[in-house]
Amino acid sequence: MNPNFLQTPIPYLKGVGPNRAETLRTELGIETYRDLLHLFPNRYLDKTQYYKIAQLHASGADVQVVGKIVHIKTVEQKRGKRLVAKFVDDTGEMELVWFRMQKWIRDNLKLNEPYVVFGRINRYGSSFSMPHPEMELLAEHQQGLKVAMQPIYPSTEKLSAKGITNRVVSKMQQQLLLESKGQFAESLSPSILDELRLISKSEALLNIHFPKSQELLVKAQFRLKFEELFFVQLQLITKKLIRKQKIKGLPFDQVGTKFNTFFEHHLPFELTNAQKKVIKEIRNDLGSNAQMNRLLQGDVGSGKTIVALMCMLLAIDNGYQACLMAPTEILAQQHYNGLKELLGKMEVKIALLTGSTKKSERTLLHNQLENGNLNILVGTHAVLEDKVQFKDLGLAIIDEQHRFGVAQRSKLWHKNETPPHILVMTATPIPRTLAMSLYGDLDVSVIDELPTGRKAIKTVHRFDNNRLKVFGFLKDEIRKGRQVYIVYPLIQESEALDYKDLMDGYESIVRDFPLPDYQISIVHGKMKPADKDYEMERFVRGETHIMVATTVIEVGVNVPNASVMIIESAERFGLSQLHQLRGRVGRGAEQSFCVLMTGHKLSEDAKTRLQTMTRTNDGFEIAEVDLKLRGPGDLMGTQQSGLLNLKIADIVKDNQILQTARYHAIQLLKDDPRLEKPENLPIRSAYTMMSKGKDIWGYIS
């Protein structure tokens, strides 16, 4: 087959033409033969069996029957008309019914000719009818590609309106397979095909569109899913290897006085084994002459900040500067305060740069950065501005990295002639499956234990009719000197209603917790930033007992004395949000509690979320459940939902195939890094072709 055959623009395919091509392009992104070939069916109708009319049941299944039309009539009904044909075989009769396109159908039906009809059976009394059946003359049916199972392709309203029905798409695929003679270039090596007993590329493509049997369909699906995930992993691992070989890192070969002084005199508690392990992994990276690109995952409160600080001290000991970038001012301010407190009286110069930093302070800060007097810069996106120049940036740490775009991160790279080492931190636990796909080009470290002395948060689910008991419990906790969060959902689509719920809730809390015994703060999105900060500050200083808030407190508020989190309408929050909110308490030495409040009406998904939260505090387990419930797109937030636009594989359901694909990609690159061996040429040419096109997508980091 001509290697460029699949690059042919779609209008050239017989039966498509310019108008249909335009609709296919705008609705499904199909521009070439290759795009059409990779439009895979999302389900199949089994056409392996022909039923007799006497065998029919109103089972709701689509069935096919062979027979003849012996009579056609138009029947008047309350609204409009319907066209009815009497359809018979040697065992009985049934009706075929049409409510639309009646004239065209009537003109084209042939009486007393054998037809194969296919559709859903309805039953009226003892007789059967089939509305809007698919019909094919038996002679044509026998000549067509022998389709045991009919593919059903993804569709949109616009496609249907323009007459591009499932049958039309199916015909286009048939035409494409005929023109290619069913021959497609193999894209995997003989050894992988043998080891995994995969069917050939041509056989897989034929059987994914027109399966000859259930068994061949399963083989085709496995083969194509494996291939898709294999090439994604190949790209990620290649990227990682290239980076390690080509991008030389700044050599951090000293563990000097700053690191040692901090370790010996300023550590507030003994490091956990998980923290020690992660610091060791990072130190190996920093001393390896290659640029570090590591993802540090750790649940809320697992002690990532201390690890980050110790890495920054290593940079300073080796004569470099460090910066820490956070997505919001509150979080940046918190990191800055936290680091200052940890450093105590150590001689390390640290500054904060955000959108609200005054101009006079900025000028001073820019000078100190450029002459090297400033060791650590903590900031928001403001750090990325061109005016911000370092004397010698050695380490860039990015917190909650999924909030930053690729372009923003590459700006950090260019703040130094030799790219700085990069450490990416997240408290949003990413399931292994997703981490392998999204961050396959990063090395991953995990802090999976909490510092000693931290008690696990107790989580319970309570219904609204238990509210008085819950309030009684809050009063007991406040008497012990503790503080409480009460959080309400606020979702853009229902903002007005949610705001009303928040205000109603606030009023009822004020009634139940009256002045002067109880002081209450409230924070929500409609307040001025200064007012919000004032209320937050009062709560942080312990001047108010209860903070009533919408989800604005989700990220980065650290109040060790707050020991109770009440989440109202908890069924409306996603799992990761519930987990993040729960992480706002449990920061002190006292026992903390999280109470999930809901009404009695709960969907199955909501029940699963609430059960998961009460069962476990493990962020990774929660993330796995969340991934199963929501799918990968939603999990990473809207800006990245198009990220995994896989054509056939599903990284949740096909987790095992993903692991197999990653294993084989790693083995292949170990054995033949440049894909030069003759047996790997099919992989090399497929990979080159994909890298040019849009099949392998621009990856995250």
End-to-end CA distance of the chain: 37
pLDDT at 48: 74
**pLDDT of 603 strictly over 80:** yes
Using DSSP, state whether 640 is helix, strand or coil: helix
Residue 277 falls within a domain, yes or no? yes
Residue 641 falls within a domain, yes or no? no
**pLDDT of 40 strictly over 60:** yes
Q: Which residue has better confidence, 71 or 301?
A: 71
**pLDDT of 626 strictly over 90:** no
Q: Which of 221-225, 449-453, 645-649 has the lowest mean pLDDT?
A: 449-453
Most confident stretch, 230-234, 247-251, 581-585: 230-234
Q: Does 7 share its domain with 41? A: yes
Q: What is the largest CA-CA distance in the chain?
A: 99
Residue 561 falls within a domain, yes or no? yes
Residue 646 falls within a domain, yes or no? no
Q: Does 370 share its domain with 502? A: no
Contacts of 527 (CB under 8 A, 6+ apart): 535
Q: Does 58 share its domain with 41? A: no
Averaged pLDDT for residues 396-405: 74
Provide the H-helix boundaries in 29-137. Answer: 33-37, 102-108
Query: Which residue has tokens 């440049």?
Result: 674
Cα–Cα distance measured from residue 353 to residue 381, given in angstroms and rounded to the nearest whole number? 9
Q: Does 11 share its domain with 100? A: no
Using DSSP, state whether 440 is helix, strand or coil: coil
- Boundary (domain end) residue, out of 600, 616, 632: 616
pLDDT at 696: 47
- Boundary (domain end) residue, out of 566, 595, 616: 616
Residue 195 falls within a domain, yes or no? no
Number of domains in the chain: 4
Q: Does 361 share its domain with 279? A: yes
Q: Does 501 share its domain with 363? A: no
- Boundary (domain end) residue, out of 117, 146, 175: 146
Q: What is the CATH number of the domain that holds 383?
A: 3.40.50.300
pLDDT at 147: 57
pLDDT band at 145 (very low <50, low <70, confident <90, very high): low
- Contact indicator for 319, 450 with CB cutoff of 8 Å: no
Q: In the beta sheet, which residues pair with residue 350?
A: 376
In which domain, by residue range, is 541 found? Answer: 458-616
Q: Does 57 share its domain with 35? A: no
Instruction: Taking the CA atoms of 399, 400, 405 and 410 in sequence, report the sign of the dihedral they define.
Output: positive
Q: What is the CATH number of the domain that holds 166?
A: 1.10.150
Cα–Cα distance measured from residue 354 to residue 385, given in angstroms and rounded to the nearest whole number? 11
Residue 343 falls within a domain, yes or no? yes
CA 153 distance to own-chain centroid: 24
pLDDT at 60: 61
Averaged pLDDT for residues 626-652: 61
pLDDT band at 215 (very low <50, low <70, confident <90, very high): confident
Cα–Cα distance measured from residue 376 to residue 583, given in angstroms and rounded to the nearest whole number? 27
Cα–Cα distance measured from residue 428 to residue 89, given in angstroms and rounded to the nearest whole number? 63
**Backbone dihedral region for residue 29 (phi beyond 0: left; psi -120 to 50: alpha; all else: beta):** left
- Using a 10 angstrom Cβ sphere, with 0-12 exposed, 13-18 middle and 19 or more buried, the burial of residue 175 is middle
SS (H, E, C) 104-134: HHHHHCCCCCEEEEEEECEEECCEEEEECCE
Q: Does 533 share its domain with 608? A: yes
Residue 244 falls within a domain, yes or no? no
**pLDDT of 284 strictly over 70:** yes
Q: Which residue has better confidence, 430 or 91?
A: 91
Q: Which residue has better confidence, 517 or 400?
A: 517
pLDDT at 76: 87
Q: Does 559 share its domain with 471? A: yes
Local structure of residue 417 (DSSP, 8 states): S
Q: Does 600 share its domain with 464? A: yes
pLDDT at 148: 64
pLDDT at 448: 81
- Contact indicator for 590, 482 with CB cutoff of 8 Å: yes
Q: What is the pLDDT of residues 578-588, one digit of tens each?
A: 988 898 888 77
pLDDT at 274: 92
Q: Does 385 share its domain with 349? A: yes
Q: Does 96 share its domain with 172? A: no
CB atoms within 10 A of CB 271: 18
* Both structure tokens of 171: 């015909």
Averaged pLDDT for residues 88-112: 92
pLDDT at 406: 56
- Using a 10 angstrom Cβ sphere, with 0-12 exposed, 13-18 middle and 19 or more buried, the burial of residue 187 is middle
Residue 517 falls within a domain, yes or no? yes
pLDDT at 100: 86
pLDDT at 643: 46
The pTM of this model reads 0.65
Q: What is the pLDDT of residues 487-544, one digit of tens each?
A: 998 766 677 788 888 888 999 999 999 999 999 999 887 888 788 888 888 998 999 9
Question: Average pLDDT of the chain?
Answer: 87
pLDDT band at 634 (very low <50, low <70, confident <90, very high): very low
Q: Which of 85-99, 402-416, 515-529 has the lowest mean pLDDT?
A: 402-416
